[in-house]
Amino acid sequence: MERQITIKDIAIALRLSTSTVSRALRDAPDVGEETRKAVKALAEELDYQPNMLALSLLKKQTNTIGLIIPNLDYVLATMVKGIDEVALEAGYTVMVCQSDESFGREIVNTKRLLDSLVDGFIISVSSETMIFEHIKKIQVKKKPLVLFDRVINSINAPKIRLDNFEGGRIATQHLIDQGYKKIALLAGPENLSISNERKDGYLQTLKQNKIKTDKNFIIHCDFNQEYAYIAAKELLAMKQRPDAIFCISDRLAIGAMLAIKEAGLKMPKDIGLVGFNNEPITKLLTPAISSVEMYGFEIGKATAKVFLELIHSETDMSDKEIIFKPKLFIRESSKRS
């Protein structure tokens, strides 16, 4: 492996002190013009690269953002893209760590990023995370912290998220408006805030429309197409089966669609279906699936902008919150009228 050229190598070649070479490379005013030119010319010839880690330690700044996400599904990947775009324009590098929905991996990722001397953190927590000491440690170490998508209400930090309650409300109200009366829900893990918020929107909308809630119509499962397929089969096998299913993610909706087609039911005549996230695939299926838009790219950009504001601000931003309003895209899977 070829040895990296150092300031000392340039200093020996030009018979200068290392401090003089260092000042010349930084255009310090106390270094003569000829010396500066000689140093820079030799540095270019030898392909000298400054030690960025050493410079970062000197400045106590690495210009890197530690980003922890639960997975890299379509929505979160779109959010990461938005975060990275804004960060790159501002001269920051984003170090992405995936917890894979594991609380243990989230703790390990947090420690590794702290050890890497990142300038701050942007975090969306895993579905297993119910204890937040590792996140509080970030704040103890005075590292800027922004929470997005899956936020933690008990942590005082800026938060950027979707109005998930409203997403659940508009999806359920649409199904009611289309004449569906027995609406089931495929929800996510019971401890996951975004799932529960969408569920609350569903429950309140049923109540407001004087539709009795059937607890058997609510099934919690992981964000997994296969689990959704099994859950939907269970719903469709009921003596009094639902006439519509609201799924809190498009992955669950696709699993439900497979079960509906296997049962020989037609959408939207026999049964309605609505998903959540508005992933591109929902428009390509037959029938196309109605879905709630998540605005992932815009949420990502807003998250990065808040982080940059936080890292350069001297004012308290812990109560800052940006909430995006969802929109329902109505397609053939639920549109009767």
Question: Regarding the domain with residue range 62-162+296-324, which homologous superfamily does it belong to in the CATH classification?
Answer: Response regulator (3.40.50.2300)
pLDDT of residue 223: 87
Share of the chain above pLDDT 70, in %: 96
Strands 290-293, 327-329: pairing is: antiparallel
Can you tell me the distance from the alpha carbon of 330 to that of 146, in angstroms, rounded to the nearest whole number?
33
3-state secondary structure 87-108: HHHCCCEEEEEECCCCHHHHHH
- Residue ranges of domains in the chain: 7-50, 62-162+296-324, 164-294
Region 171-186: what's the mean pLDDT? 98
- Residue 46 — pLDDT band, cuts 50, 70, 90? confident
Q: Examine domains 62-162+296-324 and 164-294 and report if their fold is the same.
A: yes
pLDDT of residue 60: 60
> Higher-confidence residue: 54 or 12?
12
Can you tell me the distance from the alpha carbon of 56 to that of 54, in angstroms, rounded to the nearest whole number?
5
Region 52-80: what's the mean pLDDT? 81
Strands 159-162, 321-324: pairing is: parallel
pLDDT of residue 54: 55
- Residue 93 — pLDDT band, cuts 50, 70, 90? very high
Instruction: Among 3.40.50.2020, 3.60.20.30, 3.40.50.2300, 3.30.70.20, name the CATH number for the domain at 164-294.
Output: 3.40.50.2300
- Residue 25 — pLDDT band, cuts 50, 70, 90? confident
